Structure 1
């Protein structure tokens, strides 16, 4: 995702993220600072990261969302902005999916390739031991518009709670 002097390489749109969201890319920022905001339309958390101020530089940063953040939705919007010198400076917005809202105790996900005869219920039984396929739908909401339509060869993310 790119805007002006901001080129965000991680996370990518609809990445499944945990409580600590790692951010990387290339940027130039006024006084070397980018503002990081995470929101789902109701609650917002913010932080900042430092980047080079005179030339395009690689950067890495992170923001940690506290336990029980009050988010009502699993789809979050990560905004990175160079607004330290101008409140209307360039910004990049990346939609991400918040694993802890999808599966309590979220620890990550594994990829599952759909095989002939699979249904979301069948996958949920194999992965979770029950018929609740909703976490799989939530983790793949950018791919699944109808839970009755999955396709052979489709790679789905199955969120995990391995605690």
Structure 2
């Protein structure tokens, strides 16, 4: 789960120590992209971590793809070498999130009202698609990410 502003961190190498990133919506349109300075270069792998921002994009529970890859000034290997893909859920008004363990009698609406911050049942469902297949069928002991929204 990511917000409008988030951190990309990893280990890598790139042309002139640059690693590139791109966030794509489900239709493949670019929501944001940029460069990360400070990775290794000339085959030397270094760790990096940079905060990036998506600009004017607005989304609530959108399933997007984050791509991180080496810079390729030759254009021979678009978008770039060593492509890494991460599927994430985007809430551009995300303030943070907390974890909640489901108790007997809970439902997503009650959890959103009692544990969330401007959070709906659908927000919890979208943030936990890897854990919830049916929003009307949750079980005690499951642990969910509860998005806290501004």
Calculate the TM-score normalised by the size of structure 2. Answer: 0.81
Q: Match of 1:124? A: 112
**1:133 counterpart (101, 116, 121):** 121
* Cα drift, residue 110 of structure 1: 1.3
- Number of aligned residue pairs: 142
TM-aligned CA deviation for residue 142 of structure 1: 1.8
Residue matched to 1:66 = 55
What whole-Å deviation, never above 9, does each CA across 1:24-50 have from its counterpart, x for those lacking one? 111011221111111112343111012
Residues 118 and 52 (structure 1 numbering): CA distance in 2 closer, same or farther, change over 3 Å? same
Q: Superposition RMSD on alpha carbons, in Å? A: 2.5
Q: Does 1:156 align with 2:147?
A: no
Query: Which residue of the other structure, out of 15, 28, 46, is the alignment partner of 2:33?
Result: 46
Cα deviations across residues 51-94 of structure 1 (Å, max 9, x unaligned)?
Answer: 11031111112320113x15587111111111324541221011
- Structure 1: where are the runs of 5+ without partners? 1-15
Q: Quick check: 1:79 aligned with 2:37? A: no
1:36 to 7, 13, 21: 21
Distance 2:120 2:10 in 1: 37
| 1:94-147 superposed Cα distances (whole Å, 9 cap, x missing partner) | 1111122xxxx4311111111122121321232359994111111112211101
